[in-house]
Amino acid sequence: MAGVSSESLAAALADLETTLPTASLSLARELFGILGVLDSSAGLRRALTDPSREGTEKSALVRSLLEGKASAEAVEITAKLAASRWADARDVSDALETLASTVAIAVAEQGSGSASGLSGLEKIQNDLFAFNHTVESSHEVQSALTEQQASPEARRSLALRLVPDVSEEAKLLISQAVTAPRGSKPTALVEKFASLAAGRQKRWIADVAVARPLSGAQAERLQRGLNALYGRELKINTTVDPSLVGGVRVTVGDEVLDASTVTRLGELRRQLAVQAR
């Protein structure tokens, strides 16, 4: 996916972030269900990606098809997606697949207790890797999961028997991969889901470069400052770079705070400042 479709997906993912803190696994299931509807109708996909149609018209079409059949939240997400511009008819389906799997991964991220945040994301990624490792170790299993004569439910049942102890979020993603691989191998789709989980992990890791080593007290202040800035308990990796201008550079996901981001970084620099007494 590239060009205008890539931009539309990026915007949809950014918009989805406001929903994710309170999202449930049922929302992911609904979005996957809507994806099945789109995949079953080439005409519908063409209508939703027709560049001659206004975004409001395409959104209205989605609402007329889905209202009363899906939650208001799922309808709204799909309607906004339809209103965007897409270079290819398949792109809107691919985007919905990404949104649905992101919701499932975010539910794992919410988690509870020790299995939340970064730990929750690591768990779902490990669960997905465990499934792929099991499948790839057996040619018979690979054949069974791609057998076209087998019903989707039979493939799903077999897949979940292979990894009975994985999380509910992982079970949903694995089930989606084996029942609706959408032209891919199930393991390839599971790998895509694992990559999305890895991408969200970056939001929980701060790579910090400092001009000189931090004392224990400075490291603690840095941790508190970054946690407050991002609103979550970050894992901090610190490296020393004597040539660093400004004294500190922080990278969290795709965001970089350095000497040019004075407003946001200033407080952190003050917290790290050594009191010359």
**Same-domain pairing of 148 and 224:** no
Helix-helix angle 89-110:3-16, to 10 degrees: 30
CB-based burial of residue 146 (10 Å sphere; 0-12 exposed, 13-18 middle, 19+ buried)? middle
- Per-residue pLDDT band for 63 (boundaries 50, 70, 90) equals very high
Claim to verify: residue 19 and residue 42 sit in the same structural domain? yes
Sign of the alpha-carbon torsion through 83, 89, 93, 96: negative
Domain that holds residue 19: 3-201
- For 24-43, write each residue's pLDDT tens digit: 999 999 999 999 999 999 99
- Model confidence, pTM: 0.85
Tokens of 204: 């929980």
Instruction: Convert 33-43 to b/e letters by CB count within 10 Å (16 or more is b).
Output: ebbebbbeeee
Residue 172, domain member (yes or no): yes
Kindly indicate the confidence band of residue 246, based on its pLDDT and cuts at 50, 70 and 90.
low
Instruction: Find out whether 79 and 38 touch, Cβ atoms under 8 Å.
Output: no
Same domain membership, residue 192 and residue 64: yes
Q: Write the pLDDT tens digit of every residue in 104-158.
A: 999 999 986 667 889 999 999 999 999 999 999 999 999 999 998 999 999 999 9
Q: Are both 78 and 179 inside the same structural domain? A: yes
